[in-house]
Amino acid sequence: MRILHIGDVIGRPGRDVISAELPGLRDRLALDFVILNGENAAGGFGLTRVVANDLFACGVDVLTTGNHWLDQREILSFINDEDRILRPINYPKGTPGRGANLYQTRSGARILVINPMGRVFMDTLDDPFAAVGAELDACPLGEGADAIVVDIHAEATSEKMAMGHFCDGRASLVVGTHSHIPTADAQIFPGGTAYQTDAGATADYDSVIGMEKHEPLQRFTKKISTGRMTPATGPATLCGVFVETDDKTGLAKRISPVRVGGRLIPVVPDL
């Protein structure tokens, strides 16, 4: 199976590069499934129904989220009914939405997507390792699912890497989101799980992690907030991680970063 995970989409520039580049990438990489972190897709904060539907129309199969999933309160009106949108799995019992779900590709293959959120320098939530472990036990790779992807939305690189090793041999891909900068550590762990600490943001990189530069610079240099941060509006780079799995085991055969458009050096794997 060929899977593309796309990092945090920031506002309209991020959505525009998805619209421009994702259909071609689906064909070029012969993708079976596309996962996109959409928690910053609506104006840089949260997700609306219109934005979600636009991303689905571009070829996205599932939207993951993170700590900004509830910034647009509108999401509460549809997240229970839209199983293609996940919120962090380790929120308390009774929180609207779901944190994991089993999907089917166009060819009939089964893919489990799990969306935990870290706790280091983040909100205090339930244990993400216990939540992910329970899902992996309930739907084992190669038995209940043909592929498993874990989007660990976390601040600390150590917590993301720990999740990768925790899932090694039991998931196809563990990829981090939230930090908005693509890391250079794409690898396959000894047990066969592909891993990258952060997929990066799909955003304008002439920015501060996707946001227009003035406001964060004011906050860093003068300790003064002059207004709400807004997405930078220049050409965006689509950043993500491509993984190809073994059809028999569900483990990774190949992993590669993907970068298309905007300012960053482009990378698209050859098939």
Could you tell me the CA-to-CA distances from 143 to 15, 62, 241, 249 in Å, in that order? 35, 21, 24, 9
Cα 110 to Cα 102: distance, rounded to the nearest angstrom? 7
pLDDT at 6: 98
Per-residue pLDDT tens digits for 195-241 = 999 999 999 999 999 999 999 999 999 999 988 999 999 999 999 99
Where b means 16+ CB within 10 Å and e means fewer, 138-151 reads ebebeeebbbbbbb
Place of tokens 């129904």: 49
Per-residue pLDDT tens digits for 52-83 = 999 999 999 999 999 999 999 999 999 999 99
pTM attached to this predicted model: 0.96
Per-residue pLDDT tens digits for 145-200 = 999 999 999 999 999 999 999 999 999 999 999 999 999 999 999 999 999 999 99
Per-residue pLDDT tens digits for 26-51 = 999 999 999 999 999 999 999 999 99
Given a cut of 90, is residue 271 above it in pLDDT? Answer: no
Q: How many residues does the chain have?
A: 271
pLDDT at 95: 97
**CA atoms within a 13 Å half-sphere pointing along the CA-CB vector of 22:** 31
Helices 11-28 and 49-57, packing angle to 10 deg: 20
User: Where do the domains of the chain lie, and which CATH numbers do they carry?
Assistant: 2-260 (3.60.21.10)
Terminal alpha carbon distance of the chain: 13
% residues pLDDT > 70 (the chain): 100
Among the listed residues 68, 153, 178, 180, the single catalytic one is 68
Average pLDDT of span 248-268: 98
pLDDT, mean over the chain? 97
DSSP per position, 161-199? HHHHHHHTTT-SEEEEESS-S--S--EE-TTS-EEES--
Cα 254 to Cα 238: distance, rounded to the nearest angstrom? 20
* SS3 state of residue 251: coil
**More confident call, 159 vs 123:** 159
How is residue 155 written in tokens?
Answer: 């601040």
Q: Is 68 a catalytic residue?
A: yes
Cα 195 to Cα 58: distance, rounded to the nearest angstrom? 26
pLDDT at 154: 98
62: CB partners within 8 A, 6+ apart: 33, 34, 35, 36, 84, 85, 86, 101, 103, 113
